[in-house]
Amino acid sequence: MNPATDPDSFAPDSDPIRKARAEVEGGEVARADVSSSIEQPGDAIGRYKLLQLIGEGGFGTVYMAEQKEPVRRRVALKIVKLGMDTRQVIARFEAERQALAMMDHPNIAKVFDAGATETGRPYFVMELVKGIPITEFCDESHLSTKDRLELFVKVCRAVQHAHQKGIIHRDLKPSNVMVTMHDAEPVPKVIDFGIAKATNQDLTDKTLFTEFRQFIGTPEYMSPEQADLSGLDIDTRSDIYSLGVLLYELLTGTTPVDGVRLRSAAFEEIKRIIREEEALRPSTKLSTLGESIGSLSRARGEEPAALVRALRGDLDWIVLKALEKDRVRRYETAKEFAADIERHARHEPVLASPPSRVYLLRKFLRRNRGSVAAASALVGVLLLGIAGTSSGYLRATEALRVAEDQRSAARRSEQDALAEALKQEALASFFRETLFSTSPLFGARGGTESTVTDLLRDASRRLEAGALADQPRSRATVHRALGDAFLHRELPDEAVAHFSLAFEALGEGAGDPLTLSHIAWELDRLAHDKEGGLTVELDTDLLRTAALGSLEPLLVAGEREAVEELFRWSAMLFNSGRLAEADRALSRVQELIPALDRRLVPIVEYARAGVLMRMDRIGEASALYERIAKSMQQGFEPDDDAFDFFEIALGFWVHGSLKAVGFTVPVMEDVLERFRRRGTGTLMQADLESNVVWAFWREGRRAEAAARQREVVDTARGFQRNKVFLGKQLALLGFMLHGTARHDEAFEAFEEAKRLLENHRGEAYFFSCEGVTLWHGMQALELFDHDPEAAVEPALEFLDNLGQCLSWELEGTPYPAGYLESLAQFMPTMERILSAWEGLDPTVRRHPTALRVQGLAREWIPRILVAAGDPSVSHQKVNGMVWGVLHLDPLADEHLALVLELSIKVDEATEHGDSSCLETLARARFLSGDVHAALACQQAAIDIGGVSSGAAAEMKTRLESYKASAGRR
Amino acid sequence: MASTESEEPRIERAIDGDGEALEELLRECGPRVVAGISIDPRWRPSLEPEDVMQVTYLEAYLRIFTLQARTMAGFRGWLARIAENNLRDAVRALQRDKRPEAHGRAVRAGGTSAETLMATLVDGEATAGSIAAGREAVSRLRAAIARLPASYRRVVDELDLAERPVAELAAELGKSPGAVHMLRSRAHDRLKELLGGATRFFYDSP
């Protein structure tokens, strides 16, 4: 017998196969008893006889039961499932009972009784609602739009009643609004307060409801704030949102976001969709339904066109007001919501209205975040260097990603319903065959990376073999989908192949110019993405020319989508450094936009000014900035909508050109004060405050800035959900404390910032660049003196991050002051650590990152000095740059001469009254060999005073070192 | 002799849960799969082919019902793919050990170790903070851990819940660090399956 196949020849202890088998078969895999209810119809619980199981959730079971006394009636009895009676579940159960008991409204199910079984499992007894979900009821009864609205108003009143009792439902959806008939009248009943929450009182003292937040709600009906899952800040306006979704569904037969799409999305994507994607107007949604609008209108007894007309206008705005992502903009109460519907019914003016000018602009900004951000980030917000508005930073880092999202979310322009249906069928069949005919490996690991890729490749092969050959549109759609999928799996070569084939298929005449342009855009982006990992050569010039050429007729016709598409092209061209082309595209947009929408003119001009700045056409850019600034000032109001304007204004302020038109620190403070008086948007306030603080810092009011930044941090601690914001504020505090020589406190702040920010490296790269980079620098410094070896890792992290900071976004921009300041603070010690590595590990010493950073820093000196010589750059910024350069050793003689010249100019411009400028001049003179003049300047800087004690001590230390050097000479 | 039996019925029996049949198949195919395992010299001190096969055999027993092929070549390919995946995950973990990535080091943001594990399992993107308050989820997690094979349960208990270092546990178990990483990775996969994925949590309203 072959020992390899003789089971008896293997000792169980040493044989791996036997061990594996024993572990699986030998009862090692515990079979947990999945708990379920043990009650059966016919059993009695208290004085109730269970008749029929009518519902079952994760934790509770609902029976129809019969009550014998004191009255004989049918009731619903809800009981916690056996095995699910944990402390939390019981508490939640108790909450529902209490919530229901507090309410007495004809449209809310009543609670009659409550108790516990002999084994202690709680139950409660409530009114038996024999109805069907409101949406089904409306469709089955062929209710007209008017009747649906009447019914919905009753639901609003029930919800209003709950809100008045301090209860938020948190899970309003059709199946929780049942409709029953009472005397031939439909009566809606709101049920299932199982996840309700008290607004102003404790429903139970047994637990916190936020503990359940992961389990609550139904995504289609969930408000953006619920989707955040923080559970800390949900109020009655969350129910208003859900009511809005319900009304949307009653009117259009569908929810704003498709449930199937939501359920197939990953967890984070679900949250993103809920938070970010705007609902189509109900009337627009109806128009996109194709043939199914026929059955929908039949169910209402109305003509399709009449149905669309009925929704267009007031009802569109009413629904969209309830569905606002920002709850401040929703109806305040369910009563107000209902009242607006009633006003509409009476043909009176409604509260909801088409968006205002400012609102439209804000929407535009949001929709075109990628484009606007790409321009504004680099020329405006980025100029802040180490600080800046958090949203600005996020925009900068996410610009491309957002643009990609826009691309994938771009609307299909095909309107032909029949062709669409055929295409869908062809696609469905293609994917069905691909999914089920191939890849036995697919089941092996439940769809791992490699097997999904195999599957995609199978699909590719099927296309190559001729699938969908006679259907160019479908083939293009599949190629595009596969391109997206390969791109998602970081296989850009294969993605490019599919995108190219999609372009080719559409080029056969089957595609509309916008789709063609989207694909060309994607290919062009990939071809120019240096870090995208593309290994094939891809020349996209022809594609781009063809795509933009095909857009031209639409542009001439003034098609808005085409103009926006060109705007997106300009952002991508700008991002990939093709400035002349970006400028050409933008100048065309600038030409077209006034006829389309005058309100968008400043936005486009702003983007163009950014491109001009990058092209070093400073004069033209500045003129444009001032023109925009003036036009903005005329309509500037410090309300929520104006925040985006303010952010842009801040960019101008940093650039310095706004000083000329009055956007100074006092103006910012004034705006801040007005925000405060409004008492809204506390996070926004804190963000603004932080910007004002940063302005102080840049103005040289450093001690004051550090003190106020600490207050910002305290405020930020209140925003539990926004760890990134807190982390960023802490990093900024650390930077300021370090800059005022309060090293211990700075270290603590950095440490905390790092803890918060490291989790967000991907999504907010800047934060890691600044907060985490500086933290690593600090850590390296701290460790170096007593444990040089341990300092190596943080030093490497520091250099690595800083190298990326320098090379990533700043290349080509003339304003690297913030990073240079960081570099200046840490470089000397890093150099020491680097040299100390010689004794530690030769490979580490030659770490390419370290060399790259040093090389970069030196390579940058000439550019920095040129930038610093620009008259439009503020004295503080020049001072910061020069101070940074003065720490990059060795410094070439010609650079030193330039630095000295700049330091003298700045000192003169500040009339010898700025201690930090004097210190810079002192160092420049010292390095130039004029030690006595250096001593005089340093002493003058000290004499001015007004700095923290730590900073004063540092200044004195420097003075002493100059003196010692003078003595040696 | 078993090896003379035609392939398809034997594979069918293995898929239907006949441990004997699967054992025979593994004995026949195992050596060729082992021979195909190539470990980079850098990782050889921390990982041996036998480590990879130990977990591969266990996975084979746990997942045989997913096998679609009915030929020996198909079975061998399936087994080789499991081994490859195991090896890849072990090497990734060893690389992380050598120079941990910042986000990997900072998974924990307060809360208990079970909450941190939950964060890892539910969604790589989710912040630990967003998961931390899900005590209910944690109690489910504990129930799921109880359903793991003993060797998987042990590494989860020791590494994720007791937060012991891999090297220490490896020494105690007499295994290589790579093997321990591999067990942990597979244990996490299995836990994810037992928990049903993040989306299910989202929909589990009572």
* Among the partner residues A24, A723, A761, nearest to B129 by beta-carbon distance: A723
Token pair in block for residue A446: 């439940």
pLDDT value, residue A404: 35
pLDDT value, residue A210: 28
In this prediction, the residues of chain B whose per-residue pLDDT falls under 70 are 1-6, 98-141, 143, 193-206
- Asked if the peptide bond before residue B206 counts as cis, ω within 30 degrees of 0, the response is no
CA B171 to chain centre: 19
Separation CA B52–CA B37 (nearest Å): 9
* B20–A24 C-beta distance less than 8 A: no
pLDDT value, residue A609: 76
* B130–A230 C-beta distance less than 8 A: yes
CA B60 to chain centre: 11
**What digits encode the pLDDT tens for the residues A932-942?**
999 999 999 99
Residues B123 and B57 in one domain: no
Dihedral Cα A411, A413, A419, A424, nearest 10 deg: -10
End-to-end CA distance of chain B: 56
Residues B82 and B109 in one domain: no
pLDDT value, residue A863: 64
Average pLDDT over residues A288-301: 76
Average pLDDT over residues A493-518: 80
pLDDT value, residue A187: 92
User: Do residues A562 and A554 lie in contact, with contact meaning Cβ atoms separated by under 8 Å?
Assistant: yes
3-class secondary structure per residue, A64-91: EEEECCCCCEEEEEEEECCCCCCHHHHH
Q: DSSP assignment, residue A760? A: G
B154 contacts in chain A (CB < 8 Å): none
* B66–A214 C-beta distance less than 8 A: no
pLDDT value, residue A393: 25
Separation CA B99–CA B97 (nearest Å): 6
Which is more confident, A37 or A480?
A480
**What digits encode the pLDDT tens for the residues A816-857?**
445 555 555 555 566 666 666 555 555 544 455 555 555 555
pLDDT value, residue A267: 63
* A762–B103 C-beta distance less than 8 A: yes
Binning pLDDT at 50, 70 and 90, where does residue A627 land? Answer: confident
Which is more confident, A129 or A241?
A241
Residue A66 burial (C-beta neighbours within 10 Å; 0-12, 13-18, 19+) = middle
Residues 6+ apart with CB under 8 A from A273: A257, A261, A262, A265
Q: In sequence order, what E strands does A10-147 have?
A: 44-45, 48-56, 60-67, 73-80, 111-116, 122-127, 132-133
* B202–A17 C-beta distance less than 8 A: no
A796-968: which CATH architecture?
A: Alpha Horseshoe (1.25)
Comparing alpha-carbon positions, the chain B residue that sits nearest to A772 is B102
Residues forming a β-bridge with A181: A186
Using alpha carbons only, what angle is made at residue A218 by residues A215 and A221, rounded to the nearest 5 degrees?
Answer: 140
Name the one residue in this structure whose structure tokens are 């000329």.
Answer: A660
Which of B98, B129, B158 is at the close of a domain? B98
Helix (H, G, I), strand (E, B) or coil at A44: strand
Q: Residue ranges per domain, chain A?
A: 1-31, 37-128, 131-354, 796-968
* Among the partner residues A229, A270, A758, nearest to B130 by beta-carbon distance: A229
Name the one residue in this structure whose structure tokens are 């199914």.
Answer: A292
Residues B76 and B37 in one domain: yes
pLDDT value, residue A651: 44
Question: Which strands, in side-by-side order, build the sheet including A111-116?
Answer: A44-45, A48-56, A60-67, A73-80, A122-127, A111-116
pLDDT value, residue A5: 40
Comparing alpha-carbon positions, the chain B residue that sits nearest to A10 is B27
Using a CB–CB cutoff of 8 Å, tell me whether A772 touches chain B: yes
Average pLDDT over residues A683-696: 69
Prediction ipTM score: 0.79
B77 contacts in chain A (CB < 8 Å): 441
Which of B67, B98, B129 is at the close of a domain? B98
Residues 6+ apart with CB under 8 A from B188: B120, B121, B156
**What digits encode the pLDDT tens for the residues A271-280?**
778 877 778 8
Residues forming a β-bridge with B161: none
Average pLDDT over residues A919-924: 92
pLDDT at A610 over 80: no
Residues B124 and B93 in one domain: no
The pairs formed by A283-288 with CB atoms below 8 angstroms and a separation of 24 or more are: A283/A308, A283/A309, A283/A311, A283/A312, A283/A313, A283/A315, A283/A316, A284/A316, A285/A248, A285/A252, A285/A254, A285/A256, A286/A252, A286/A311
* Domain carrying residue B193: 103-203
pLDDT value, residue A2: 40
CATH superfamily of A131-354: Transferase(Phosphotransferase) domain 1 (1.10.510.10)
pLDDT value, residue A504: 82
Q: Could you tell me the CA-to-CA distances from B182 to A22, B63, B120, B149 in Å, in that order?
A: 19, 16, 16, 14
Comparing A216-220, A326-330, A391-395, which segment has the lowest mean pLDDT? A391-395
Binning pLDDT at 50, 70 and 90, where does residue A925 land? Answer: very high
Q: Which of A10-14, A653-657, A733-737, B170-174 has the highest mean pLDDT?
A: B170-174
pLDDT value, residue B126: 34
Token pair in block for residue A928: 């130039």
Helix (H, G, I), strand (E, B) or coil at A622: helix
Separation CA A239–CA A173 (nearest Å): 10
Residues B92 and B10 in one domain: yes
Question: CATH number, domain at B195?
Answer: 1.20.140.160
Which of B47, B74, B98 is at the close of a domain? B98
Q: What is the share, in percent, of chain A residues with pLDDT greater than 90?
A: 8
**What digits encode the pLDDT tens for the residues A777-829?**
666 666 666 666 667 776 766 666 665 555 444 443 333 445 555 555 555 56
Q: DSSP assignment, residue B18? A: -
**What digits encode the pLDDT tens for the residues A444-491?**
333 333 345 666 777 788 778 777 777 777 778 778 878 877 776 678
Separation CA A443–CA A528 (nearest Å): 38
End-to-end CA distance of chain A: 94
Per the prediction, chain A carries an average pLDDT of 69
pLDDT at A433 over 60: no
Average pLDDT over residues A692-704: 74
Using a CB–CB cutoff of 8 Å, tell me whether A765 touches chain B: no
Comparing A627-641, A663-677, B91-105, which segment has the lowest mean pLDDT? A627-641
Separation CA A177–CA A179 (nearest Å): 7
Which is more confident, A772 or A783?
A783
Which is more confident, A605 or A775?
A605
Separation CA B182–CA B53 (nearest Å): 11
Residues B144 and B161 in one domain: yes
Residues forming a β-bridge with B182: none
Comparing A72-76, A509-513, A626-630, B109-113, which segment has the lowest mean pLDDT? B109-113
pLDDT value, residue A150: 93
pLDDT value, residue A828: 57
pLDDT value, residue A134: 92
pLDDT value, residue A877: 67
pLDDT at A54 over 90: no
pLDDT value, residue A322: 93
DSSP code string of A423-477 = HHHHHHHHHHHHHHHS-GGGGTTTS-HHHHHHHHHHHHHHHHTTTTTT-HHHHHH
H or E element in which residue A361 lies: helix A357-367
pLDDT at A166 over 70: yes
Token pair in block for residue A553: 């007729």
Average pLDDT over residues A185-201: 66
* B31–A4 C-beta distance less than 8 A: yes
CA A962 to chain centre: 50
Separation CA A378–CA A809 (nearest Å): 8
Return the amino acid letter for A826.
Answer: F
Name the one residue in this structure whose structure tokens are 């369910």.
Answer: A334
* B103–A88 C-beta distance less than 8 A: no
Name the one residue in this structure whose structure tokens are 């490699």.
Answer: A450
Residues B86 and B24 in one domain: yes
pLDDT value, residue A268: 65
A85 contacts in chain B (CB < 8 Å): none
Alpha-carbon Rg for chain B in angstroms? 19
Dihedral Cα A664, A670, A674, A676, nearest 10 deg: 100
Question: CATH number, domain at B69?
Answer: 1.10.1740.10
Token pair in block for residue A258: 């498709």
Closest-CA residue to A245 (of A313, A306, A324): A324
pLDDT value, residue A879: 79
Residues B133 and B64 in one domain: no
Return the amino acid letter for A139.
Answer: D
User: Do residues A438 and A456 lie in contact, with contact meaning Cβ atoms separated by under 8 Å?
Assistant: no
DSSP code string of A152-185 = HHHHHHHHHHHHHTTEE-S---GGGEEEEEETTE
Separation CA A552–CA A558 (nearest Å): 10
Comparing alpha-carbon positions, the chain A residue that sits nearest to B86 is A445
pLDDT at A708 over 80: yes
* Among the partner residues B58, B107, B204, nearest to A20 by beta-carbon distance: B58
Q: Based on the structure, what is the number of domains in chain B? A: 2
Binning pLDDT at 50, 70 and 90, where does residue A670 land? Answer: low
CA A783 to chain centre: 36
Residues B94 and B145 in one domain: no
Average pLDDT over residues A279-300: 78
A762 contacts in chain B (CB < 8 Å): 103
Average pLDDT over residues A480-505: 81
Best probe of the B interface among A8, A90, A267, by most B CBs < 10 A, is: A267
Residues B7 and B94 in one domain: yes
Q: What is the share, in percent, of chain A residues with pLDDT greater than 70?
A: 55
Residues B198 and B118 in one domain: yes
pLDDT at A66 over 90: no
| CATH among 3.40.47.10, 3.40.50.720, 3.30.200.20, 3.30.1360.10 for A37-128 | 3.30.200.20
